[in-house]
C-alpha cells in the first residue's frame, strides 16, 4: 500500500503588525501541557512513520469424494484424496508506511509583537509544511486507516451429484408350501420391495455413467454419428460432456479448493526499541493467523542505518544554555532502516523505509526566514530570504 496522496488542507496564519523590522520566530517543545503554555501561541507537530504490514494467507482444503474407496476398483485410479486435510500458508506480505503527527514532538511558536509579517502553513492534522511561504504544493502524508482487518472469501466449491433415484426395486421369490388331503403343492410368489442403494452400487452407477460419457465423446469427435455439426456446436457439446465427466470424477478423486484471507497489522517503531523484535501475530499451518502469543511467532524488526548517530552527538556537543535561550522552528533529520518480517527464525519479507523517529530532532536558528519542510519527514526542504512580495 503506497502512501496516500491528497490535496493538503493548508492552514494559513497571517499576522500583519505595525513595526517595520523582522524579529526572530522561536518555538519550544511541549513537554507538559499542564506546565502552562501561552494562549497566543501557534502549535505544530513533526511527523512520525507508521509501518503497515499487509498479510495474505492462502488456505488449501482437501475434501475426499464420497466414492473414494471405490476409485481403484471401478476406475483404476490410484492418486485420490482419502481423508480431509487443511493446509495454511502465508502467500504474500507487503510492507508500506504512512505518516501521522508524533505526540512526542509537539511544539508551539511564539511571535514577538514587533514582527512585521508571519505565515505558517500546516496540514489538517497539524504537521508543519512551511513558514513564510504561500505556495506550498499538495503533499503526501495523510494518515491511513489503522487497525487490523480481515476479509472472508466465499465458501469453496462442493460436489455436484448427478444420480438416479436413491431407491432400487428388489424382487424376492418365495415358494410357500401347501398340501391338501391327497396332493402336495408348491406355488411361487413374487414379492416386491424398495430398498436404499448401497454406497458400492451408487459408485458403480456413477462409474458406468463416466464410461458412457467417454464413449459419447469419442463418437462425437470420430464422426460416428454422421451428422454435419458446425465447429461451434461440436466444441460446445464436447466441452459440456467434458465438464460433466469432471464433476462425476470429483466424486471419486475428491476436491482441492483454495481461499485467501487478508489481514492488516500496524506497528509504530521507536528509536529505543529499534533493535528488538516485536511479535505481530502467531501462525499455524493448520489454523492460520492466531494471537501474538500462539503458534509460530511472526515478528517485525528494524536494522537502522545509524547515519544520524554522529549527527546527534554533534548536536549534543554544541548545545549550551545560550542556544537553549532561543530556538527557531524544530525539524527532524530522518534515517533509513531495513524493515524485516520473520516467521520464527526465517526471514520471509523485507523493505527499506525512511523511519522518521529513528533520526534526530534539532532546531533552526531563531530567524524569520522563508522555510519549507518535507511533510512526510519533517526535514528542511528549502530555507532562504522571503521574496519581496511576501515581506
Query: Which pLDDT tens digit goes with each residue over 239-276?
Result: 999 999 999 999 999 999 999 999 999 999 998 888 89
Question: What range defines the domain where residue 221 resides?
Answer: 167-253
Cross-strand bridge partners of residue 335: 355
Say if residue 379 is in the same domain as residue 249.
Answer: no
What does the block give as the cell for 67? 466414492
Say if residue 13 is in the same domain as residue 96.
Answer: yes
Strand order in the sheet with 26-29: 26-29, 85-110, 42-63, 255-267
Say if residue 143 is in the same domain as residue 194.
Answer: no
The region, left, alpha or beta by phi > 0 then psi within -120 to 50, assigned to residue 357 is alpha
Specify if 74 maps to a domain. Answer: no
Q: Which pLDDT band, with edges at 50, 70 and 90, does 299 fall under?
A: very high
Say if residue 178 is in the same domain as residue 222.
Answer: yes
Query: Residues 86-90: what's their mean pLDDT?
Result: 92
| Residue in this structure with the C-alpha cell 402336495, named with its chain if needed | 184
Say if residue 102 is in the same domain as residue 175.
Answer: no
Say if residue 103 is in the same domain as residue 150.
Answer: yes
pLDDT tens track for 275-288 = 899 999 999 998 99
Specify if 345 maps to a domain. Answer: no
Report the DSSP pairing between strands 278-284 and 296-304: antiparallel
**Percent of the chain scored above 70 by pLDDT?**
69
Say if residue 142 is in the same domain as residue 40.
Answer: yes
What Cα–Cα distance (Å) separates residue 14 from each residue in 115, 128, 131, 370, 382?
Answer: 11, 15, 10, 14, 20
What does the block give as the cell for 331? 525539524
What does the block give as the cell for 123? 496540514
Say if residue 13 is in the same domain as residue 136.
Answer: yes
What does the block give as the cell for 236? 460446445
Say if residue 23 is in the same domain as residue 120.
Answer: yes
Say if residue 25 is in the same domain as residue 124.
Answer: yes
What pLDDT shows up at residue 356? 92
Specify if 187 maps to a domain. Answer: yes
Say if residue 310 is in the same domain as residue 205.
Answer: no
Specify if 239 maps to a domain. Answer: yes
Query: Residues 138-158: what's their mean pLDDT?
Result: 41
Say if residue 325 is in the same domain as residue 220.
Answer: no
| Residue in this structure with the C-alpha cell 489454523, named with its chain if needed | 287
CA dist 177 and 186 (Å) reads 5
Specify if 19 maps to a domain. Answer: yes
What is the total count of domains within the chain?
Answer: 2
What pLDDT shows up at residue 18? 32
What pLDDT shows up at residue 274? 86
* Cβ atoms of 3 and 376 closer than 8 Å: yes
Query: Residues 114-120: what's their mean pLDDT?
Result: 67
Specify if 284 maps to a domain. Answer: no
Amino acid at each position: 500500500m503506497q502512501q496516500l496522496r491528497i490535496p493538503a488542507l493548508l492552514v494559513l496564519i497571517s499576522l500583519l503588525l505595525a513595526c517595520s523590522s523582522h524579529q526572530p520566530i522561536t518555538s519550544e517543545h511541549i513537554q507538559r501541557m499542564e506546565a502552562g503554555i501561552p494562549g497566543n501561541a501557534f502549535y505544530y507537530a513533526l511527523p512520525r512513520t507508521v509501518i503497515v504490514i499487509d498479510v495474505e494467507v492462502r488456505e488449501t482444503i482437501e475434501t475426499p469424494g464420497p466414492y473414494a474407496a471405490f476409485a481403484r476398483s471401478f476406475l483404476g485410479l490410484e492418486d485420490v484424496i482419502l481423508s480431509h486435510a487443511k493446509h495454511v500458508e502465508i502467500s504474500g506480505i507487503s510492507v508500506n508506511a504512512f505518516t501521522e503527527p508524533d505526540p512526542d514532538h509537539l511544539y508551539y511558536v511564539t511571535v514577538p509583537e514587533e514582527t512585521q509579517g508571519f505565515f505558517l502553513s500546516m496540514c489538517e492534522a497539524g504537521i508543519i509544511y512551511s513558514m513564510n511561504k504561500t505556495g506550498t504544493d499538495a503533499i503526501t502524508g495523510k494518515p491511513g486507516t489503522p487497525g487490523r482487518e480481515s476479509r472472508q472469501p466465499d465458501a469453496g466449491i462442493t460436489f455436484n451429484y448427478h444420480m438416479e433415484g436413491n431407491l432400487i426395486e428388489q424382487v424376492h421369490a418365495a415358494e410357500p408350501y401347501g398340501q391338501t388331503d391327497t396332493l402336495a403343492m408348491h406355488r411361487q410368489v413374487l414379492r416386491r420391495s424398495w430398498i436404499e442403494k448401497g454406497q458400492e452400487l451408487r459408485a458403480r452407477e456413477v462409474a458406468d455413467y463416466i464410461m458412457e460419457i467417454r464413449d459419447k465423446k469419442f463418437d462425437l469427435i470420430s464422426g460416428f454419428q454422421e451428422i454435419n455439426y458446425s465447429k461451434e456446436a461440436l466444441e460446445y457439446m464436447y466441452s459440456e460432456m467434458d465438464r460433466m465427466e469432471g464433476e462425476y470424477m470429483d466424486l471419486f478423486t475428491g476436491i482441492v479448493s483454495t481461499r485467501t484471507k487478508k489481514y492488516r497489522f500496524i506497528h509504530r517503531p521507536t528509536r529505543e526499541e529499534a533493535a528488538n523484535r516485536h511479535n505481530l501475530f502467531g501462525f499455524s499451518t493448520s489454523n492460520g493467523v492466531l494471537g501474538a502469543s500462539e503458534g509460530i511467532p511472526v515478528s517485525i524488526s528494524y536494522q537502522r542505518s545509524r547515519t544520524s548517530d554522529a549527527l546527534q552527538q554533534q548536536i549534543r556537543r554544541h548545545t549550551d544554555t545560550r542556544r537553549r535561550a532561543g530556538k527557531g522552528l524544530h525539524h527532524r533529520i530522518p534515517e533509513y532502516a531495513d524493515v524485516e518480517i520473520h516467521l520464527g527464525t526465517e526471514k520471509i519479507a523485507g523493505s527499506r523505509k525512511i523511519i522518521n523517529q529513528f533520526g534526530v530532532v534539532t532546531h533552526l536558528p531563531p530567524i524569520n526566514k522563508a522555510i519549507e519542510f518535507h511533510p512526510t519527514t519533517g526535514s528542511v526542504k528549502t530555507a532562504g530570504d522571503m521574496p519581496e512580495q511576501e515581506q
